[in-house]
A and B are shown apart, each in its own frame.
Chain A
């Protein structure tokens, strides 16, 4: 891939075109999507499939942000800025999932609700 750009381009200097590079990336993304769809039908243990799906999605995600969205060649502050939002969203999602998946987070069953209403109330 073309080297990180020099601070100021002199007149007459063209950056090598990224046209073909983008097409290659798109092909890779399409192939990964295909693999994901096939994967869910394969008789593999569930945790491995989940992990692989998450990894593959992450790979697609990173390809799009670093290449299509140009972060690879932009000033690193743009990457930091976006990752602040991304990491925070990820952390919040993780915390919410943990809170609702815990025993205390389960909604009461009908039986438990009845018990609460009649015996305790």
Chain B
């Protein structure tokens, strides 16, 4: 019979080479996520502990937060989670093209979230004068949300690596091209969340489009070139790739990480932002 790997007939829920039927990678990731629960638990606890008896002179969150932006960010991250689930769904059916689209979608929304964070932090420091060091709220807030943001950024990098991986040619070699493809991705994503998205948010908040474009001209041009390169790499890649349903476990693993980062944000949004308004 033909290889099950090609037809969408692998059992993605049961691996009979293991004692429990759970694939090794899946078990590893769930154990890691249990550990990460303690990691964020300690961080969130510390933040909340310092909200119990705020010292005089502490930053006042309700005067600093922009809850509309944060709600929008929450919605964005939830949508990225959806696209991630759809990416896993697609690769489990062996649909590489759809997987790529969904991965890119996840990355796109992830970059919007990160850009929102960059914008938020920049504004809190520049306009609200809250820094890491001038209040206890600043210390705990930036460390907690910054750690979460770092997790998101790592997730974007992993997703980019997975995206580039889907182009691996069957005939071997291709390492150099893979590196360049990943480099293009990293530049595009970096420019997106460090300059493009914050810049757009500035424009929404009232800055003139012309000012934003001239202000960030160099990185934006670099980002545009990187995006063009990404399109070029995608268009000129070998049509037969060494990637398919058999790699679903790896996409699923990244998916678990990405969803976890999302649920941590669900908790942070409630405990750090929403509860302050009561």
Contact = CB atoms under 8 A, between A and B. Distances in A.
Interface of A: 5, 7-9, 11-14, 17-19, 22-23, 25-26, 29-30, 33-34, 36-37, 40-41, 46, 49-50, 53-54, 57, 60-61, 64-65, 67-70, 73-75, 77-78, 81-82, 84-86, 88-90, 92-93, 96-97, 100-101, 105-107
Interface residues of B, number: 61
A70 B71 CA distance: 26
Given A8-B14, A40-B277, A78-B26, A68 B33 contact: no
A26 B81 contact: yes
Nearest to B271: A57
B33 A57 contact: no
B41 A92 contact: yes
Interface of B: 1, 4, 7-9, 11, 13-14, 16, 20-22, 26-27, 30-31, 33-38, 40-42, 44-45, 48-49, 52-53, 55, 67, 71, 74-75, 78-79, 81-82, 84-86, 88-89, 93, 252, 255-256, 259-260, 262-263, 266-267, 269-270, 274-275, 277-278
A96 B45 contact: yes
Contacts of B44: 93
A75 B71 contact: no
B155 to A, nearest CB: 14
